[in-house]
């Protein structure tokens, strides 16, 4: 157990390998719990969690909500479109109003990078970052690494992971890079040069603009969606060209390691970054990722609730 | 802070108690088909395994055996003390079973309460019994008492602790630690 007890989970950066191992071993127990006939525990019956989603979300929101409910927590859900934020209220005022109703923990998704970090300095409650702009998405990285670790029997050391697609606008990519490197994996990012951040190599990753070469190098391919909603200009000529150069299809799979593990954080744009037959193939663990997401979020909530992370 | 300790049980006595437990299980259960032993994580597992082996030696029956962690069912999560879960390994349904929970020490009774809740998620047993090596008879916080006990002691909560030192199955010592207040 780490002595560096965290009050928040704001990002992977700042976590130690021991803390990640503790989250994983706790999630193992929750995975077991989720297989039992009764999937609920009353562990967080004293805790109220507010899910603040200032951006659209399906998977993450449902996953957090299920995790909270299975831990017995009381929950309140909030989305910016149906709230006083649209009337001009500031983030701190919104959150403090919610906290005055005796909320213990906040799960927040926000379009601004650093929003959860900012909030953690101004409000008195525990905060879990469920995605802040193009910055970090720590629980997604944890569930991705947890899924790989389970597939490779608890050892990611030396595994080669290529993250493919819109690296520039992806919070999943950055959190994955931090997390996988901490666990001893080698990471490569691959995509059009325009969608790879200029200084990404400073994180210690390899960079490729050729998907076929990258796939031949890799044990795992994590395919990312093109984040159209964050693109303020055109980064590539057309979706069709992107799909031709960076889409993972069965033709490409013929020339790579037959055991290549295929992952995707969702939502999938079938036919763009990944074809349907690859997404549904035996190489894919996309649905296991979703299942593991609930266990990982239960572990994070459980450990943060007793300030033991 | 100074400590002193008194030996409550030596390896010979622990071995005798384990044999007695096995005999009591045989005496109290007409059939073993529906009997299962669950050791409580972390410190009840070794004793549970030894009792199971003794029953097997006595009557040649391998009782169903599992390891149970009750961390997620505790009533004090987020109230100061930190609890890290251990794995549960129960590969059978507890529906309709006679379950014998085994732990090293019974004190406040709260762990056993949590363990009962944890068992219920695997099914509805017809009966749950409790077996402990040491029963601390004072400071119980819930109406829970053991069906099988090694010894009873009248230790006090504030400055005493029972430590079961399980080096290996043939070398188990149980100590009463007296911890003076700082």
Q: Locate the chain B residue with the closest alpha carbon to A298.
A: B72
Sheet arrangement for strand A261-263: A206-208, A186-190, A160-164, A220-223, A261-263
In a domain, B79, yes or no: no
Which residues of chain A are in CATH 3.40.50.1370 domains? 17-136+292-305, 138-289
CATH topology of domain A17-136+292-305: Rossmann fold (3.40.50)
Strands (E), B45-126: 64-68, 98-106
Q: Give the pair of three-digit tokens for residue A207.
A: 């960079």
Measured between beta carbons, the chain A residues lying within 8 angstroms of B72 are: 29-30, 33, 41, 43, 71, 302
- B94 within a domain of the structure (yes/no): yes
Instruction: Report the gap between the CA of B81 and the closest CA in chain A (Å).
Output: 8
Query: A98 vs chain B: nearest CA distance in angstroms?
Result: 21
Closest residue to B83, CB basis, from A33, A47, A306: A306
Q: What percent of chain B has pLDDT over 90?
A: 78
Determine, for residues B73 and A41 on separate chains, whether the beta-carbon distance falls below 8 Å: yes
Distance from CA of A44 to the nearest CA of B (A): 7
Task: Name the token pair of B74.
Answer: 């505790």
For chain A, the straight-line distance linking the first and the last C-alpha, in angstroms and rounded, comes to 8
Q: Is the pLDDT of residue B157 over 70?
A: no
**The CATH number fitting domain A138-289, selected from 3.30.420.40, 3.30.1330.10, 2.60.40.10, 3.40.50.1370:** 3.40.50.1370
Inter-chain CB pairs, A–B, below 8 Å? 64
CB A289 within 8 A of CB A263: yes
Nearest CA in chain A to B95: A37
- β-partners of residue A190 are A164, A208
What torsion do the CA atoms of A14, A19, A24, A25 make, to the nearest 10 degrees? Answer: 180
- Strand B98-106 relative to strand B35-40: parallel, antiparallel, unpaired? parallel
Q: Is there a domain that residue B32 lies in?
A: yes
Question: Shortest Cα distance from B40 to chain A (angstroms)?
Answer: 15
Question: A48 has which bridge partners?
Answer: A74
Which among B85, B88, B121 has the least Cβ separation from residue A37?
A: B121
Quick check: is B117 in a domain?
yes
Range of the domain at B144: 3-74+86-179
Q: Which residues of A touch B96 (CB under 8 A)?
A: none
C-alpha distance from residue B8 to each of A184, A258, B14, B164, B168 (Å): 48, 61, 10, 10, 17
Give A-chain residues touching B73 at CB under 8 angstroms. Answer: 41-43
How many other C-beta atoms can be found within 10 angstroms of the C-beta atom of residue B156? 10
* Domain-located, residue B80: no
Q: Which residues of A touch B122 (CB under 8 A)?
A: 36-38
The answer to whether residue B98 sits within a structural domain is: yes
For residue A1, the model assigns a pLDDT of: 41
CB contact under 8 A, A41 and B87: no
pLDDT per residue of chain A (309 residues) written in tens, 0 to 9: 443 467 899 999 989 999 999 999 999 999 988 888 888 899 999 899 999 999 888 889 999 999 999 999 999 998 876 666 667 778 888 888 888 888 999 999 999 999 999 999 988 889 999 999 999 999 999 999 999 999 999 899 999 999 999 999 899 999 999 999 999 999 999 999 999 998 899 999 999 999 999 999 999 999 998 877 766 777 888 889 999 999 999 999 999 999 999 999 988 889 999 999 999 999 999 999 999 999 999 999 999 998 766
Contact between A37 and B78 using a beta-carbon 8 Å cutoff: no
- A138-151 vs A286-305: helix axis angle to the nearest 10? 120
Q: pTM score, two decimals?
A: 0.87
E strands present in B43-147? 64-68, 98-106, 127-136
Q: What is the CATH number of the domain that holds B162?
A: 3.40.50.2020
**Which residues in chain A are contacts of B71 at CB distance < 8 A?**
29, 43
CB contact under 8 A, B71 and A29: yes
- In B, what residues contact A, Cβ < 8 A? 69, 71-75, 77-79, 81-88, 93, 117, 120-123
Query: Can you name the residues that pair with A188 across neighbouring β-strands?
Result: A162, A206
Is B83's CB within 8 Å of A33's CB? no
Tokens of A215: 């796939």
Calculate what percentage of chain B has a pLDDT beyond 70: 96
| Residue B90, Cβ density class (10 Å: 0-12 exposed, 13-18 middle, ≥19 buried) | buried
Minimum distance, in Å, between the CA of residue A142 and any CA atom of chain B? 18
Quick one: CA dihedral A74, A44, B123, A34, positive or negative?
positive
Write down the mean pLDDT value for chain B: 92
Tokens of A21: 């191992």
**In whole angstroms, how far apart are CA A301 and each of A43, A75, A88, A102, A298?**
10, 12, 31, 17, 5
Residue A253: what are its φ and ψ, rounded to 5°? -65, -20
Q: Which of A1, A23, A37, A48 to mutate to test the interface with B (most CBs of B within 10 A)?
A: A37
Asked if B146 and B131 touch (Cβ cutoff 8 Å), the reply is yes
Q: Nearest CA to A136 among A173, A162, A161? A: A173
Are B133 and B47 in contact by the 8 Å Cβ rule? The answer is yes
Task: Determine contact: A32 vs chain B, CB below 8 A.
Answer: yes
Tens digits of per-residue pLDDT, B63-75? 999 999 999 999 9
ipTM of the complex: 0.76
Cis peptide before A267 (omega within 30 of 0): yes
User: Does residue B37 contact residue B64 with C-beta atoms inside 8 Å?
Assistant: yes
User: Chain A closest CA to B21's CA: distance in Å?
Assistant: 30
B81 in any annotated domain: no
Q: Which residues of B touch A2 (CB under 8 A)?
A: none
> For chain B, how many structural domains are there in total?
1
For residue A78, the SS3 value is strand
Q: What is the pLDDT of residue A284?
A: 96
Q: Is the preceding peptide bond at B42 cis, omega within 30 degrees of 0?
A: yes
B chain contacts of residue A29, beta-carbon cutoff 8 Å: 69, 71-72, 85-88
Would you state the pLDDT for residue A187?
98
* pLDDT mean over B91-102: 94
Which of A28, A37, A302 is the closest to B122 by Cβ?
Answer: A37
Chain B residues within an 8 Å CB radius of A307: 78, 82
């Amino acid at each position: 157990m780490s002595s560096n007890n965290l009050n928040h989970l704001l990002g992977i950066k700042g976590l130690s390998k021991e803390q990640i191992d503790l989250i994983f071993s706790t999630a193992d127990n929750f995975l077991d719990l989720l297989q039992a006939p009764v999937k609920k525990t009353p562990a967080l019956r004293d805790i109220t969690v507010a899910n603040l989603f200032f951006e659209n979300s399906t998977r993450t929101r449902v996953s957090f909500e299920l995790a909270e409910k299975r831990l017995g927590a009381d929950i309140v859900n909030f989305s910016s479109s149906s709230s006083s934020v649209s009337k001009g209220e500031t983030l701190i005022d919104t959150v403090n109003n919610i906290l005055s109703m005796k909320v213990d923990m906040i799960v927040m998704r926000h379009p601004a990078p650093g929003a959860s970090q900012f909030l953690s300095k101004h409000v008195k409650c525990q905060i879990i970052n469920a995605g802040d702009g193009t910055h970090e998405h720590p629980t997604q990285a944890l569930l991705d690494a947890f899924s790989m670790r389970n597939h490779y029997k608890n050892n990611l050391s030396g595994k080669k992971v290529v993250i493919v697609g819109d690296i520039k606008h992806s919070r999943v990519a950055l959190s994955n890079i931090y997390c996988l490197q901490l666990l001893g994996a080698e990471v490569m990012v691959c995509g059009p040069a325009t969608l790879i951040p200029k200084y990404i190599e400073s994180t210690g990753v390899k960079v490729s603009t050729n998907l076929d070469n990258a796939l031949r190098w890799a044990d795992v391919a994590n395919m990312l969606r093109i984040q159209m909603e964050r693109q303020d200009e055109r980064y590539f000529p057309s979706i069709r060209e992107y799909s031709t150069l960076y889409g993972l299809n069965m033709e490409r799979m013929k020339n790579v390691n037959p055991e290549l593990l295929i992952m995707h954080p969702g939502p999938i744009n079938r036919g763009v970054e990944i074809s349907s037959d690859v997404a549904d193939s035996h190489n894919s663990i996309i649905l296991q990722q979703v299942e593991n997401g609930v266990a990982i979020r239960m572990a994070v909530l459980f450990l943060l609730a007793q300030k033991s992370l | 802070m100074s400590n002193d300790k008194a030996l409550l049980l030596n390896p010979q006595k622990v071995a005798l108690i384990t044999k007695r437990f096995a005999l009591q299980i045989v005496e109290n259960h007409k059939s073993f088909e529906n009997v299962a032993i669950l050791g409580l994580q972390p410190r009840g597992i070794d004793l549970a395994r030894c009792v199971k082996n003794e029953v097997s030696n006595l009557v040649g029956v391998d009782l169903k055996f599992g390891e149970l962690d009750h961390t997620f069912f505790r009533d004090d999560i987020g109230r100061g003390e930190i609890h890290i879960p251990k794995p549960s390994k129960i590969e059978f349904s507890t529906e309709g079973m006679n379950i014998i929970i085994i732990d090293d020490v019974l004190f406040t009774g709260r762990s056993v309460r949590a363990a009962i809740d944890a068992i219920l998620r695997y099914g509805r047993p017809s009966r749950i019994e409790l077996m402990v090596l040491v029963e601390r008879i004072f400071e119980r916080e819930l109406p829970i008492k053991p069906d099988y006990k090694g010894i009873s002691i009248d230790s006090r909560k504030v400055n005493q602790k029972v430590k079961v030192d399980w080096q290996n199955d043939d070398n188990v010592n149980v100590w009463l630690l007296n911890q003076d207040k700082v």
